[in-house]
Amino acid sequence: MFGLKKKKSLLPSLDSHIEANFADSKIYVKEVSKVYHSAKGDTLAMDKVTMNILSNEFVCIVGPSGCGKSTLLRMIGGLDEVSSGNIVIHDKDIIGPGVDRGMVFQSYTLFPWMTVEDNIRFGLKLKKMPKDEQDKIVDKYLSVIKLEKFRKSYPKELSGGMKQRVAIARALANSPEVLLMDEPFGALDPQTKADMQLLMREIWQVEKPTIVFVTHDIDEAVFLGSKICVLTERPGKIKEEIPILLTYKRTLALKDTEEFIALKHKVNGLINYSK
């Protein structure tokens, strides 16, 4: 598959505990470091980060500004190269972008000259999928994002939240195994952001992709995630991984519960003392 290369097994080099987890993993990040080179010298952005992301997990990555959250996501997406270490998906090295990974950014990255339905259809046309199959998939995701009445609209005619719904639908239409999201709701107003969080949980529960979601919003991370990975300040390292053992079906009322607030305080404390 484009963007991936078959890799010799990593298992002999891992201890038995990690071997057991690796067998069930979707994404395995092993001792990944990232160094940026410039005329002023080298900057170590990430230092030997190791993560194991299981199939169908919703993993939120949080940490101080500049800790490498987006850098890590881009390396998983194949948009940036690792300086050392390995990132694999099902025992295959990531060597570049691939159709197995969909990406959604804070900027909407829609094609302004295309309608909503044509933006969603874009990747399907590149695959040269038969027109009737394209139509079924487009109709499905217009329904998922609740924009059936806007299928002929152009991005300039949509609100920010609507544009982001289209970007998510376009990514999902290609049936990616992994959905990578880089602060996708960061530019939205509070009410629209809350609506998008509910939609994202619903999509995850129905479509069952593996999601890696970068955010600076602790409230958002606790509400969305099944696990939160907290990074230290630069150079980014894993400070702690926190399982989010809240109810599977979530409503906004959950944010007022003691359990939710306690988790927020825990994550906030880790970020504030993240060295």
Which stretches of the chain are DSSP H helices?
Answer: 16-22, 69-77, 116-126, 131-144, 160-173, 190-207, 218-224, 258-272
> 164-186: per-residue pLDDT in tens?
999 999 999 999 999 999 999 99
Reported as a pLDDT band with limits 50, 70 and 90, residue 23 is low
CATH number assigned to the domain covering 4-100+176-272: 3.40.50.300
**Would you list the DSSP string of 64-122?**
STTSSHHHHHHHHHTSS--SEEEEEETTEEE-S--TTEEEEESS----TTS-HHHHHHH
Estimate to the nearest angstrom the gap between the alpha carbon of 6 and the chain centroid.
23
Q: List Cα–Cα distances, 1 to 15, 197, 226, in angstroms.
A: 29, 31, 28
pTM: 0.88
Q: How far is CA 247 from the centre of its chain?
A: 21
Domain segments of the chain: what residues? 4-100+176-272, 109-175
Residue in 217, 214, 220, 233 with CA at minimum distance from that of residue 273: 233
Average of per-residue pLDDT across 180-197: 93
Q: What is the pLDDT of residue 107?
A: 81
**First vs last C-alpha separation in the chain:** 39
Find the helix packing angle between 131-144 and 160-173, rounded to 10°. Answer: 140
pLDDT of residue 38: 87
